């Protein structure tokens, strides 16, 4: 049976699904239409949500124009009081739609890293540990480092680039039937302070997971803490801080948040071009290597509505 879903990342797509999946998703589509009729989602979508400087930064992202990472960023929806009900009720399907055999190499990788796991929480922990270790193989040479590509390519070469690593975590979770999505974090009071994590759905709730730093956000009783929970309760963020290795685990990093669906079942619809560092990003990375001698700041007048590079 074929149906068109309006809830899969804002793109109408047709899927051949099992009867039980049809029932669930059709109900979600109906509810989603009701909620979306109450708010204008497009008002909260895209790279303009967090100020002009971050808009410029996103426009100069080093990933290839039109590639998966650019598309996900451009379609992100800001998490705020006006959108929280939509994003946590109907935006992301509570089932993955993944079919065995779609990504056999990733299936093998997931089977290997989760071989000793007995429940979903342990599988999430295994994914977070695996993705956080990808930076150990990352090429740190600005002249030769690569960005983007398929998740298989990212795993093979290693990466410490948060958006690439988050995609790996997102897909690995979906392969074992754990719905997941990309979450973008922006410290709007600092320059170049963007980060990407994921949210994973289990026990009927969403929980934030940092794929780069291996932080799984939870309440003291072990219940998963969503990104909205963290935004509403900054002490939950600080409780997970473990020093410099968890650099992004601070309340400031959650000043601006957006969510984007990345469904592994749609992977053939994306462009997975691999790119090298562009001039804009090179200037930022080179200054970071120098330790920002004159202090962290916008280098190209991004906050003054003009560029200078």
pLDDT tens by residue, 26-64:
444 444 554 454 678 999 999 999 999 999 999 999 999
Query: Is residue 22 a part of any domain in this protein?
Result: yes
Higher pLDDT, 9 or 57: 57
pLDDT at 39 (0 to 100): 79
Percent of the chain past pLDDT 90, that is, above it, reads 84
What is the per-residue pLDDT across 270-296, written as a single tens digit (0 to 9) for each? 999 999 999 999 999 999 999 999 999
Question: Does the pLDDT of residue 163 top 70, yes or no?
Answer: yes
pLDDT at 9 (0 to 100): 37
Query: Is residue 231 a part of any domain in this protein?
Result: yes
Question: Does the pLDDT of residue 1 top 70, yes or no?
Answer: no
What is the per-residue pLDDT across 135-156, written as a single tens digit (0 to 9) for each? 999 999 999 999 999 999 999 9
The encoded tokens of residue 246 equal 């968890």
d(CA 176, CA 273) in angstroms, rounded, equals 26
Question: Does the pLDDT of residue 215 top 90, yes or no?
Answer: yes
Question: Does the pLDDT of residue 247 top 90, yes or no?
Answer: yes
For residue 278, CA distances in Å to 55, 61, 184 come to 17, 8, 21
d(CA 210, CA 218) in angstroms, rounded, equals 12
pLDDT at 290 (0 to 100): 96
Of 13, 77, 18, nearest in space to 42 by CA: 77
What is the per-residue pLDDT across 63-89, written as a single tens digit (0 to 9) for each? 999 999 999 999 999 999 999 999 999
Query: Is residue 292 a part of any domain in this protein?
Result: yes
For residue 142, give the DSSP letter: T
Q: Which domain, by its residues, includes 40?
A: 2-304
Long-range Cβ pairs for the range 134-137 (8 Å, 24+): 134/158, 134/159, 134/160, 134/165, 134/168, 135/159, 135/160, 135/165, 135/212
pLDDT at 38 (0 to 100): 64
Structural domain count of the chain? 1
Q: What is the pTM of this model?
A: 0.88
Query: Is residue 309 a part of any domain in this protein?
Result: no
Asked which of 10-24, 98-112, 195-209 is least confident by mean pLDDT, the reply is 10-24
d(CA 92, CA 104) in angstroms, rounded, equals 24
Query: Is residue 157 a part of any domain in this protein?
Result: yes
d(CA 186, CA 213) in angstroms, rounded, equals 16
Q: What is the mean pLDDT of the chain?
A: 89
Question: Does the pLDDT of residue 94 top 50, yes or no?
Answer: yes
Beta bridge partners of 202: 205
Query: Is residue 37 a part of any domain in this protein?
Result: yes
């Amino acid at each position: 049976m074929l149906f068109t879903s309006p809830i899969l990342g804002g793109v109408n797509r047709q899927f051949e699904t099992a009867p039980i999946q049809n029932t669930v998703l059709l109900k979600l589509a109906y509810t989603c239409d009701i909620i979306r009729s109450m708010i204008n989602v497009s008002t909260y979508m895209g790279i303009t949500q967090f100020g002009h400087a971050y808009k410029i930064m996103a426009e100069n992202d080093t990933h290839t124009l039109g590639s998966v990472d650019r598309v996900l960023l451009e379609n992100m929806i800001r998490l705020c009081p006006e959108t929280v009900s939509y994003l946590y009720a109907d935006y992301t399907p509570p089932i993955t739609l993944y079919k065995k055999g779609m990504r056999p190499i990733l299936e093998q990788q997931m089977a290997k890293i989760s071989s000793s796991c007995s429940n979903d929480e342990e599988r999430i922990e295994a994914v977070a540990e695996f993705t956080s270790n990808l930076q150990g193989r990352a090429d740190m040479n600005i002249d030769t480092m690569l960005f983007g590509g398929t998740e298989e390519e990212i795993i093979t070469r290693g990466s410490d680039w948060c958006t690439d690593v988050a995609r790996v975590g997102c897909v690995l979770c979906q392969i074992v039937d754990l719905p997941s999505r990309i979450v973008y974090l922006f410290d709007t009071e600092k320059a170049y302070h963007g980060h990407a994590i994921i949210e994973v759905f289990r026990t009927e709730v969403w929980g934030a997971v940092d794929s780069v730093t291996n932080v799984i956000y939870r309440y003291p009783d072990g219940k998963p803490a969503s990104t909205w929970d963290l935004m509403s309760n900054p002490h939950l963020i600080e409780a997970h801080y473990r020093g410099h290795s968890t650099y992004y685990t601070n309340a400031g990093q959650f000043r601006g948040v957006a969510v984007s669906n990345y469904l592994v079942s749609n992977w053939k619809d994306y462009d997975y071009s691999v790119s090298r560092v562009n001039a804009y990003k090179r200037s930022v990375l080179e200054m970071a290597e120098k330790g920002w001698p004159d202090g962290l700041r916008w280098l190209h007048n991004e906050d003054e509505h003009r560029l200078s590079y």
